[in-house]
Structures are given as C-alpha cells and as structure tokens.
Structure 1
Amino acid sequence: MSTPLALTKDYIFTHDLRDATAKIYFAATRALTRHFGEEISLESIDHRSILGWRRKELERGLAKQSWNTYSNHLRTVWGYAIEQGTLLHTSINPFKKTTVIPPKRPSKTVARDAIKRARDWLKSMVAEECYSKKRSAITPAWFWLAVFEMFYYTGIRLNALLTLRYGDVDWDNRIIKVQADTEKTHREFSIPIMPGLEPHILKLLEAAKEIGFAPDDQLFNVNRFSRHYRSTVMNIDQIEGMYRKLTREVGIRMTPHRFRHTLATDLMRQPERNIHLTKSLLNHSNIATTLSYIEVDYDHMRAVLHERSLSQGAIAFERRVDEHMPVPVAQPLPVLPEPVALPQPDVCMEPMVFEADEVRGKECSSHIPIPSESKLLTHVASITSERFTLEQAILPVGTGLSHELTWDGPGTWWEELGIPPASSGDEVSESSLLLTLMINRVGIKSYSWS
C-alpha cells in the first residue's frame, strides 16, 4: 500500500530538484503524517479531510502563508500521482482549492537611509581592521562588505551566491555567470558587474588568486579568507549571522532576500521602468512573480497622478516655494520718541466756550490767557434750546446767529499770540481768524466741543 511519504519520494526522484526544494516537500509531507498518521490510507484522504486538517492547523496558530506552502506542494505531489496513474481510486486532487488568502505582508524593502547606515558601518569596520590590525565585530570586514554590495547591486538569491565558483566570474566582460543547477528556476543567467560593485569583486578575485583558488572553488567562502573560521564551506548560517549583527547595529531588519524586493522596487522607480529588465535580473520564471516583488511606491504614485492633473488642466496654477530662499524675518516697529510736553502757563485760563445765551461755567482747561479788561470770546459749550455744528459756529459775522465771534479791537489777546489783526479792507473775517487759531493751536492744550 502506498503512503504519502512514498508519493513524495517518487515525485522528488523523478524531478531534478535542489536539495533546499526537496526539504520543503518533505516538510509538508511530515506535517500531513503528523495529523493523519504515517500509515494513513491514501483512499481516506479526501477534500473534506484536508479542510478539517486546515482548520486544525490554523486554529493552533499556523501562519496562512505556511499552510499555503503545505497545500501547494502536496497538491503538486498528488497531481503527479494522479497523472501517472498511481492513485486509481480518484481523479480529483483533494488539495485543490484548499489554500487561504493570507494577510498582506508588510513591506520587505529596505529604506535607503538604512542601507546607507549599514554600508557606513561596514566601511568603518574595514577601516578599524586596517589600522588596528585587530579583529572587528565582523571579520574579515572587507569580505562582508563585498557580500553586502553583491546583494545590494544584483539582488542575487542567497543560495545562488553560495554556489558561485571562482571560474564563474568573467572579469574581462564584467559578467558573473550563475549556473542552472544552482538556480531555483533551473535556468542559467548572467549578472552584469556594475561600476559600484567592481572594486569589491576585484578585491575578492585578487585575494582568491593569492591563496590559490581553483576554478570550481566556492568564491564567496569566508572560511578561506580568515583563520578565525574552521569550516571549509561557507553556509547559510554564516551569512544570516552577519545580517543579524547588521540588523542590531542599524535597527532595521535586513536579509539578503529583502535586497531582492528593494532592487525590484527601485528599478521600477526609474524613468524606463523596464519590467523585463527587472525580471531578467532577478531570474524569475514569469512576470507575475516579478510584480509581486515590487512594493507600492506612494511617492511615485502621487507624482504620476499630479502629472495627469496638470496635463488635463485640472490645476490652473501652482504655487512653488523656493526652499533655498531665506525666510523674511519680521522687523520690529520703530520706537517713536515720547511727545514733549509744552510748558504750562501759571495763569489760570478760561475755557473757550461757545454759548447761545450765556456762559454756563468756567473751567481751567484750555489755556488761552484772557485779559481781565477784555470781553469773553463767545464759544458754544452747551445749548439747551438748540445745537450748532462746528461749521455754523465759524460762520462770518452778520449771519444773524447769536453765537457770532466778537472782540474789542487792536491790542487784545490775539496780538499777544503773534496773530496780526485783520484790516478793514481784508477779506479775512473774525471767524477765519478763529479758524487760524484753531489750526495753529499756539499755546493751546486742548479743545472741548460739546
């Protein structure tokens, strides 16, 4: 009687799978047998029993992405068995339509400032080892800097980097060849060596040549460049250990796979936005996989939508602020000098009061000296029967109003103020003389009109 494990072994035997891929198939099969038992009959595994297993796994806290991994790999195994006629009791794959919709994963890209901080820290470790001749936190630092730049510039898979050989680098053409048997997609492809990556690859090649690397030797093998390591082959744990140190130092999680997502997103930010170039560099089998690597760039989305608005006339004008222009600083208001008080005369002054009938009171407010022999200057202060406006109060003599302005002639108070009297032939009237006095305000503190 066939078992789930036997089906999985048959599938792996008939397919050219990498060791890492085969481990995933075996892990899914072990999860199945933990639930149903190792000797479970294949006839008893149907669609509803798989749904029951799914519910139990999700209830105990299994991530939906992990369940989908089980479902997808076991569906492939069962599909192959049905195709080959191994399963005679059914033609329906019990794992069909058993995946679930996983929650959206958080962004897997690494921010630019975090990449810069990580690079600066690695460079500082290189300088520390160079000048102190002592082991730094990561050693040899120059080698780990080359690993970091390799992931940053190329987005190469972790397994592909570990399987690169010394002879895979074509330095004359600045090309790195990735062999098909080491790739997840089983396709050979080439990676261009960019100018920023050149010095790191050149240093690695020179160091490898100096210690006698053979063409088939593992190129990225830290164990051969430092006496502090005892292994002969560099493995995944060593690279992940370095990235854990990098994560602690920068405070942002960094992994080699996140650099693939970052590279794909950055390439799509470029003006060309060449999806075929991105797919070829990452060596994806289909373009849908490449699109899943590209994170949503909201800054780019905002800029594209803004360009659309401008081209269609939705925005009539823009207000642009030059950030390089200095911001004007508000200047304080000028301090005005304090008014200078005029000297006050010692003589008590009569207020200038216009009255229609009589003067109702005397106050020492407006300081116009009035000789004791002269008559009062008629001025309306308060009127019980009727009120006159200022224009009426300065009407020329002869208007018939009872508040006409009068004085005794030459030698009276206006001469003391320096105002020449009007002659008989002058057109200047007594009222205009009073207006002149009001404008000049010579020796006068205030007027009160009521």
Structure 2
Amino acid sequence: MENITFDDLLDHYFHVKLLRPATQWSYRKVVKSFIKDMKKQPWEVDSQTVLAWRREVLTGQRLEARTWNNKVAHMRAIFNFGINEGVLTHKKNPFNGVVVRAGKKKKKTLTKGQIEAIYLLMQQYYEQEQQLAQSHRRSSKCALYPAWFWMTVLDMLRYTAIRQNQLQHIRVGDVNLEERWVDLRTEGAKNHCEHRVPVIRALYPRLHELVTRSLEAGAELTDPLFDVARFDVRRRKSAMSIYPLRAFFRRLSKDCRFPVSPHRFRHTVATHMMKSPDRNIQAVKRLLGHVSIMSTMEYIDEDVDALREILEQELM
C-alpha cells in the first residue's frame, strides 16, 4: 500500500495485535515524537532519516541512550509489521541496527527523608482541606486533592511495590480486607500474570477507608477502586485514567522539589528488601511479580556503609 500514513499504519497494527490501551498510547507517543522531529511519513523513512533522528534525540535533545533504544524498539516493531503485511514497500527495516549501548544505572529510589517529606506535605494539604470543609468552603482545584485519596494511593504504592498500571486495574472486589490481600489482575500486569499482594498493618487503615467510601458512594465490586472522580465532583465521571495520576505526581514532584513517581516507590521497596538477598530474594520476586529471578537480582545494590567499613578495616 503506497503512501500509508502513520495513523493508518498504527490503526492496522493495533487491530491485528490487540494491544492494551497503555501500550497503544506508548506507541502513539513515540510516533508523534518522530513526526514532530523529522516531519516524515512511513514511505519517506530510510536509514539516513533514522540516523538523523538518532543525532537529534541524543545530541540535539540530549536524551539518554535508554530512551533512544526504547523509541527504536517501538518504531522497529511497527515497520516490521508494515513490511510483513505488505503495506510498506521497504526491503529492509530502516530501524534495524541503530540501537546504542546504554550504561547501566542504579535504580531510582526514594530516601527515608524524601518519603517523610512527601507525607508531611500531603498531611498539610489534608489539614487544609479539612479546615475548608468545616467552614463550608470548597478547596481550590488542585491535583493533590482530595488529599486523603492520594495518601491512600501513596500507601498502596509504598507498601505493595505495585506498578502504576496495576493500581489502575484494581477493582473494589479485588480487595479482601478480612484476609488482608489484594488480587492484581492480568490486565495490569506487565507479564500478563495475575498475582496477590498482602495488606500489611500500615496499609490497612487507609485502604479500608477507601473501600468503605467507595461502596457508600455506590461503587460496584466490578468498578475500579482507585477512581478519584468518585470523590471529586469537579472531575469528569470516568474510571481512573492515567491523566489524574500523572497530574498528581507532577504536582507532588514540583512541591517536594525532587522527582516522585510510582516506579520510584517500587524500586525503593525492592532495593530495601534486597539488602538481605539470601533471606528475601524469593519474597521480592513474588511481590514484584517477576517471572525471572534475574529481574529481581537487579535490585541488589552495593551497601556503601558496609563497603566503607571494609575499606577502613583493610586499609587503615
């Protein structure tokens, strides 16, 4: 098919592959960035175009090699599909052989002080919100309101290490408060595997409050649990989408003056537990839902304090 647009190619790709909405969004985001940078459609793309884009991404925009390789993976998959389906006339995929070596970085985690700062900030917003409610005044529109709801989100991420997509797919009926566990659905799992995470004592109070309020607001057991629109009349009535979640963490990061994200909580839990890998490696593997133990091993980090003590003993 000559002169097929990226929109048509993506629509065809998604129709055949039946990808998740979040995955479709990631493909569209990469394609959108390519069109913005290079202003070309599929039939115009050749190896020189890709190399020019690589220079723009790595040198012009100064993005990391890992980001570039992620973009390449998406574009290569789309072009492989188009070539195999006969909708692209390329004899060779122009995105083959253009990845770059990415250095291995430490997992991005949150320090104990940063976690305390996050909760202190949210507690301030919670108290302000309570004061306004007592005086029958409505709080200003803010991504951190309702504060009690977002503090529950933080607790869920902090004490279960689940992914953002898993959080969005938890339904009211997936929470068993009596036996204290939460079922994570296949729809939200990166590896398409369902598994169960425990509800520890620190998580229980806010999670219990969220379930109770959700049921009182008329939620069914099959409805999403973490649906902020259920408790904020100013938001559009819809299931918990990625947008309010991103807005929350964007505003939280701005107010805290350091990056905060769902994955930083996940990395923090895993890295902390893997300080004793001999005891915790299987537990962390189950908690994170990893299929391969090698994925879990990546969270073993060097203990700087222990290393300092060894050096002082050996070298002093």
Shorter-chain TM-score category? 0.7 to 0.9
- Which residue, out of 261, 275, 281, partners 1:275? 281
**C-alpha separation between the residues in 2 aligned to 1:162 and 1:72?**
25
CA deviation digits over 1:242-264, x for unaligned, max 9?
33443344333212221112112
Which residue pairs with 1:68 in the alignment?
69
Q: Secondary structure in 2 aligned to 1:147?
A: helix
**C-alpha separation between the residues in 2 aligned to 1:107 and 1:251?**
19
Which residue pairs with 1:239 in the alignment?
245
**Structure 2 residues not aligned, in runs of 5+:** none
Which residue pairs with 1:17 in the alignment?
19
Which residue pairs with 1:162 in the alignment?
168
Q: Which amino acid aligns with 1:278?
A: V
**C-alpha separation between the residues in 1 aligned to 2:157 and 2:208?**
16
The alpha carbon displacement at 1:102 in A equals: 4.0
Which residue pairs with 1:151 in the alignment?
157
**C-alpha separation between the residues in 2 aligned to 1:239 and 1:289?**
26
**C-alpha separation between the residues in 2 aligned to 1:126 and 1:267?**
30
Alignment of 1:340-359 (within 5 A): none
Which residue pairs with 2:257 in the alignment?
251
**C-alpha separation between the residues in 2 aligned to 1:244 and 1:157?**
17
CA separation of 1:4 and 1:248: change in aligned 2, threshold 3 A: closer
CA deviation digits over 1:289-323, x for unaligned, max 9?
445566544235446x57xx98xxx69xx9xxxxx
**C-alpha separation between the residues in 1 aligned to 2:96 and 2:267?**
29
| Structure 1 position 38 matched with structure 2 position 44 | no
**C-alpha separation between the residues in 1 aligned to 2:167 and 2:118?**
20
**C-alpha separation between the residues in 1 aligned to 2:87 and 2:43?**
16
CA deviation digits over 1:100-145, x for unaligned, max 9?
2346657621110111222233334445555662566743332221
Q: Which amino acid aligns with 1:116?
A: E
- Which residue, out of 202, 213, 219, partners 1:207? 213
Q: Secondary structure in 1 aligned to 2:43?
A: coil
Q: Secondary structure in 2 aligned to 1:110?
A: coil
8 Å CA contact 2:274–2:299 kept in 1: the answer is: no
- Which residue, out of 247, 266, 274, partners 2:272? 266
CA deviation digits over 1:367-406, x for unaligned, max 9?
xxxxxxxxxxxxxxxxxxxxxxxxxxxxxxxxxxxxxxxx
Q: Which amino acid aligns with 2:13?
A: Y
Q: Secondary structure in 2 aligned to 1:176?
A: strand
The two structures have a TM-score, normalised by structure 2, of: 0.79
**C-alpha separation between the residues in 2 aligned to 1:249 and 1:36?**
36
Q: Which amino acid aligns with 1:118?
A: I
Structure possessing the higher radius of gyration over alpha carbons: 1
CA separation of 1:78 and 1:251: change in aligned 2, threshold 3 A: closer
The two structures have a TM-score, normalised by structure 1, of: 0.58
| Structure 1 position 99 matched with structure 2 position 99 | yes
Which residue pairs with 2:116 in the alignment?
116
- Bigger helix share: 2
**C-alpha separation between the residues in 2 aligned to 1:140 and 1:57?**
38
Q: Secondary structure in 1 aligned to 2:54?
A: helix
8 Å CA contact 1:33–1:40 kept in 2: the answer is: no
8 Å CA contact 1:8–1:29 kept in 2: the answer is: no
Q: Secondary structure in 1 aligned to 2:61?
A: coil
- Which residue, out of 174, 189, 194, partners 1:183? 189
The alpha carbon displacement at 1:148 in A equals: 1.2
**C-alpha separation between the residues in 1 aligned to 2:163 and 2:221?**
21
Q: Secondary structure in 1 aligned to 2:223?
A: coil
The alpha carbon displacement at 1:179 in A equals: 1.4
Q: Secondary structure in 2 aligned to 1:40?
A: helix
**C-alpha separation between the residues in 1 aligned to 2:282 and 2:83?**
36
8 Å CA contact 2:168–2:224 kept in 1: the answer is: yes
Bigger RCO (CA 8 Å, 6+ sep): 2
Q: Which amino acid aligns with 1:37?
A: K
**C-alpha separation between the residues in 2 aligned to 1:129 and 1:161?**
25
Which residue pairs with 1:27 in the alignment?
29
CA deviation digits over 1:61-92, x for unaligned, max 9?
251333222211122234445666777874x5
The alpha carbon displacement at 1:160 in A equals: 2.0
Alignment of 1:283-432 (within 5 A): 283-292=289-298, 296-302=302-308, 305=310
**Structure 1 residues not aligned, in runs of 5+:** 319-450
| Further displaced range: 183-192 or 127-136 | 127-136
CA deviation digits over 1:14-42, x for unaligned, max 9?
2231112112223334455563732626x
Alpha carbon RMSD of aligned pairs, Å? Answer: 3.5
8 Å CA contact 1:169–1:177 kept in 2: the answer is: yes
Which residue pairs with 1:423 in the alignment?
none
**C-alpha separation between the residues in 2 aligned to 1:131 and 1:27?**
41
Report sequence identity in percent.
31
8 Å CA contact 1:18–1:182 kept in 2: the answer is: no
8 Å CA contact 1:140–1:226 kept in 2: the answer is: yes
Count of residues in Structure 1 that have an aligned counterpart in Structure 2:
306
Q: Secondary structure in 2 aligned to 1:191?
A: strand
**C-alpha separation between the residues in 2 aligned to 1:166 and 1:211?**
12
